[in-house]
A and B are shown apart, each in its own frame.
Chain A
Amino acid sequence: MAPSTPDWLREIDHTGDVGLRITADTLPQLFERAATGMFSVLTDLDAVRPTDATAVPVEGRDREALMVRWLSELNYHHTVHDRLFYAFSVDDIAPTADGLRLSATATGEALDPARHTVHTEIKAITFHGMEIRETPDGWTVQIVFDM
């Protein structure tokens, strides 16, 4: 991770294999920052340019499932369509008949091996120890990736 790691993002040790602890002022910001954190594990974000935007709608039966689906969807675009995302904007998190729906936009560019390094492969975003909590200061979540 870059030396300029922001104070809302902490990498935590876990044998299975990388974990992040994220804090944010609002729930949409928590989702945005979690995505930024995941892409900072995958690549050096400083080298990614925001050239185009992808709409990313996902659904989940609760907040935690929504987080897993959101990050899994972005990881899918990354691994299968060679996308690197740099900035994220969550427009809405709204209830549905059987859970929650998130509408968001991810901005980035196509992977260019000449300019980008992909450090690792994330097999899965896990539910391990995941709990999205509202604290007096805002929101917090811990995410463990299966590498």
Chain B
Amino acid sequence: MPSYTFEKLDDYRWQIPKTGGMRVPARLYATEPMLEEIRSDDAPQQAINVAHMPGIVGASLAMPDIHWGYGFPIGGVAAFDPDDGVISPGGVGYDINCGVRLMASKLQKDDLDRQDQERLVDALFHRVPTGVGSSGALRVDASTLPHVLRKGAPWAVQQGYGSDADLNVIEEGGQVDGADPDAVSGRARERGLDQIGTLGSGNHFLEVGYVADIYDERAARVMGLDEGTVTAIIHSGSRGFGYQVCDDALQDMDRAMNKYNIELPDRQLACTPIDSPEGQQYIRGMRCAINYAFANRQVMAHNTRLAFENALDLTPREHGLRTVYEVAHNIAKFEQHRVDGRPQEVCVHRKGATRALPAGHPLVPGRYQKVGQPVLIPGDMGRYSYVLVGTDRAMEETFGSTCHGAGRKMSRRQARKTAGRRNVTAELANEGIIVRGESGRTVREEIPEAYKDVADVVEAVEGAGISKRVARLRPLGVIKG
């Protein structure tokens, strides 16, 4: 049984006080009915473990979609002092810069009949490789890869995939500085050559949907989201390249921890001081993976447009598919925040958590300055996804962060058992959702019931005031790994 207790701060905030070796308290954002499910996992203990790490400031934070992850919980946020804090690959995750892009078109839901829907999903399935080890959308050679790793999405735009208009509405403009291709292993580079423009497997997906509900008219209008607007969501990351960067760094750090006298309750929290050689090497390599993921999604976005053109026989002007915003939800970055009332640079780890900047923040693109940074929260493939915006409260309390998705509640094995012999694809087709999956097993593992209801997750972050609902999207078609 868990050895911790949650102290209720208010209806949406729970605190595990500082005890033993904890340097800060752990704080969870959730509604009371969500607590039982959250407790059934080891995730709250993982949030406590993170609170033990050197240089952590404020609190070890857990979003309402928290569930078990490697070392850090998924749905975890932790900020570290750059001078005496640590950097931890487990605080970013294996899929470095996994993230979500939302695109909106000029089309209305009623413009698409069932046949169009099927043709569109087939065209996406054809254009965007999916599944275990998917490859081949765009192969680069070893001399080109370093350009991808340094330049990210702008590299893809230079090659003719999309336009500058996309870059303005991607977190960090689709590229971070300080990426050093020499800081990653030959294995990582080898894995990066043929996976640009590929979706991968597991919970990654590309979904066509439409705007079903609007909660904030003004913000929705600024984002170009009207009721019925046809949308596309791309959820993917840095593929095998990112996994390898993470794996290499974990090995290095597991060996180096003794040298820095870091002792932690969980070996998976392997970390080293930010300014150590191992920490710096990971940061330079992680930034390569961040840029790789930005390029990957940019190429997929371009191929999504081509699928709309081919399947629906439309010109780019006619479908008008443009990027609304793209967020990262597995990332570590140096950002300005207030710690104990004073402005300070901190290294924020977001693992299964999304940056959520308020209106007026200098890093919010011009067109969203008055409404706040769009936050994209995908749900399971049968229900709905949300568009939110960041708030001032998120800046005050959560280092400008919020939730990232629904969060699993069933293991994959349990999900397969629940799906049994059901024809999940036919069930979803009956509800008007066309699903194409490389593997029937993945589709069964990803059944809607395997996930928490993302509406509950969003209710908790809105109730807590760390983001605000703008719109809800419903799916028309999904491609899965």
Q: Is the CB of A65 within 8 A of B268?
A: no
B413 sits at the interface (CB 8 A): yes
In the assembled complex, how far is the CB of residue A128 from the closest CB belonging to chain B, in whole angstroms?
A: 6
A147 sits at the interface (CB 8 A): yes
| Residues in A whose Cβ lies below 8 Å from that of B409 | 15
Q: Please measure, in the bound complex, the distance between the C-alpha atom of A14 and the C-alpha atom of B410, giving whole angstroms.
A: 8
A80 sits at the interface (CB 8 A): yes
B3 sits at the interface (CB 8 A): no
Q: Is the CB of B411 within 8 A of A121?
A: no
Q: Is the CB of B411 within 8 A of A17?
A: yes
B342 sits at the interface (CB 8 A): no
Q: Is the CB of A72 within 8 A of B247?
A: yes
B25 sits at the interface (CB 8 A): no
Q: Is the CB of B187 within 8 A of A11?
A: no
Q: Is the CB of A17 within 8 A of B268?
A: no
B296 sits at the interface (CB 8 A): no
B41 sits at the interface (CB 8 A): yes
What 0/1 pattern do residues 395 to 421 of B give for CB contact below 8 A with A?
000000000000011111110000000
| Residues in A whose Cβ lies below 8 Å from that of B187 | 76, 80
A15 touching B439 in the complex, CB below 8 Å, given contacts A118-B133, A120-B201, A128-B268 = no
A127 touching B240 in the complex, CB below 8 Å, given contacts A15-B41, A80-B190 = no
| Residues in B whose Cβ lies below 8 Å from that of A103 | none
What 0/1 pattern do residues 122 to 147 of A give for CB contact below 8 A with B?
01101110000000000000000011
Within 8 A of A (CB), among B36-77: 41-42, 67-70
B18 sits at the interface (CB 8 A): no
A15 touching B95 in the complex, CB below 8 Å, given contacts A119-B441, A121-B200 = no
B94, B240, B251: the one within 8 Å of A146 (CB): B94
| Residues in B whose Cβ lies below 8 Å from that of A69 | 251
Q: Is the CB of A127 within 8 A of B268?
A: yes
A26 sits at the interface (CB 8 A): no
Q: Please measure, in the bound complex, the distance between the C-alpha atom of A132 and the C-alpha atom of B202, giving whole angstroms.
A: 29
A11, A16, A82: the one within 8 Å of B68 (CB): A16
In the assembled complex, how far is the CB of residue A60 from the closest CB belonging to chain B, in whole angstroms?
A: 9
Q: Is the CB of A118 within 8 A of B132?
A: yes
In the assembled complex, how far is the CB of residue A138 from the closest CB belonging to chain B, in whole angstroms?
A: 24
Q: Is the CB of A18 within 8 A of B413?
A: yes
Q: Is the CB of B414 within 8 A of A13?
A: yes
B177 sits at the interface (CB 8 A): no
Q: Is the CB of A147 within 8 A of B247?
A: no
A15 touching B240 in the complex, CB below 8 Å, given contacts A72-B247, A124-B247, A146-B94 = no
B254 sits at the interface (CB 8 A): yes
**Interface residues of B, Cβ cutoff 8 Å to A:** 41-42, 67-70, 94-95, 132-133, 187, 190-191, 200-202, 240, 243, 246-247, 251, 254-255, 266-268, 408-414, 439, 441-442, 445, 481
Those 9 A-B pairs whose CB atoms lie nearest each other, nearest first:
A16-B68, A123-B94, A127-B267, A121-B132, A13-B411, A17-B412, A121-B201, A118-B132, A15-B68
Q: List 12 A-B contacts (CB under 8 A).
A: A13-B411, A14-B68, A15-B410, A18-B413, A69-B251, A76-B187, A79-B191, A80-B187, A80-B190, A80-B191, A118-B132, A124-B247
Other A-B pairs beyond A15-B41, A119-B439, 11, CB < 8 Å: A13-B413, A15-B68, A16-B68, A18-B412, A64-B267, A65-B254, A72-B247, A80-B191, A146-B69, A146-B70, A146-B94
